[in-house]
Amino acid sequence: MRRVVIDTDAGVDDSIAIVYASRLPDATIELITTVSGNVPVSEVTQNVLYLKKILRLDAPVFSGAEAPRSRKLITAPEVHGKDGVGGYRKSKGISFPAWRTGGAAAAIVMAARKFGKKLTIISLGPMTNIAKAVSLDPAAVKGVGGIIQMGGAFSGYGNTTVFTEFNIFVDPEAASYVLKNGVKVTFVPLDLTETLFLPRNIVASLLVKAGVNWPELVPLLRKALNHYIDYHRHADKLDGCFMHDPITVAAAVHPEWFRFTGSSVSIETKGKHTAGMTVADFRKGAVLGNSRIAVSFDALTFLGDLTGKVFGARIGRSAAGQSCLRRRFTADFRNNLR
């Protein structure tokens, strides 16, 4: 049984990742911590508390960083909605006003001390809380079984600036601090997560089937996913959505589905056009560096597992292979060489 801490800036795909993690028989969620990212931490925490309620989770929830370590917070309401779930929670007036805030980093440290190598930290947002935990007790954080970070873009373009992925872009100083303090991180980057895509028609079919099994959850998923898909259609001309964070959960709990490579990773923090860029050295001598990077995975096995556990209906491998696999654009100038 794998014990996990989920640190999240709970937007749409984060929320699906939490649902997915809660239904994995090989994992136990020991703790959920929240961080500003997709939306401010106050909204993130409300989303997690609502998910905790409807999923009947026992895991404690601690809110964390309201802002990055040394820069102004940048959020993504256009992607996830102002409340992080496509406006669903706001439209229903759902809130938990008596919630006490704070304590995320200290809670992560306590879990690290308690469980050691048996604990995996799954980071689905900016690494602000993780960096604070490292500053509180670096030995405890180094002693966990692994830190899995959804973040980075190593061989293609980013989703925030040309060179950057959102989670690292929001707080590059935090990611840099973690790596510079000797904490080994496994990155699940856009290079991998954007090779799997859920088209709108498949999402709609899954939501219909899920409504039979989980009527309390499906209205949230429907509102959130439709907002998320509308964003991708407008911004990327793609009528569907990516599952960045659920893939990251799978990398933590089912590493056998993935192929990883070692690398030395640095985080750019000062460049005008590159702040937040993840720079990896893939040369042979760097494979024992400070990080691992997920470079490929069994997408169809993952997708069947995800849809079965979150929606109660598996997508057939043939249909998924035709509709959900995607070749991600990377710059290749060889055809233009003379």
Q: Which residues are catalytic?
A: 9, 244
12 within 8 A of 227, measured Cβ to Cβ = yes
**Exposure b/e, 45-69, CB count within 10 A at least 16 = b:** bbbbbbbbeebebebebbbbbebbb
Separation in Å, CA 223 to CA 98, 175, 207, 214: 26, 32, 11, 15
Strand 258-267, strand 240-241: pairing:
unpaired
Q: End-to-end CA distance of the chain, in Å?
A: 56
The DSSP letter of residue 171 is -
DSSP-based three-state secondary structure for 124: coil
C-alpha 74/C-alpha 76 separation (Å) is 7
Based on its alpha-carbon atoms, the radius of gyration of the chain, rounded to whole angstroms, reads 19
Q: What angle do CA 272, 273, 279 make, to 5 degrees?
A: 110
The partner residues of 119 in beta bridges, in order of sequence, read: 3
What residues contact 234, with CB distance under 8 A and at least 6 apart?
Answer: none
Output the DSSP codes for 247-306: HHHHHHH-GGGEEEEEEEEEE--S-TTTTT-EEEE-SGGGTTSSEEEEEEE-HHHHHHHH
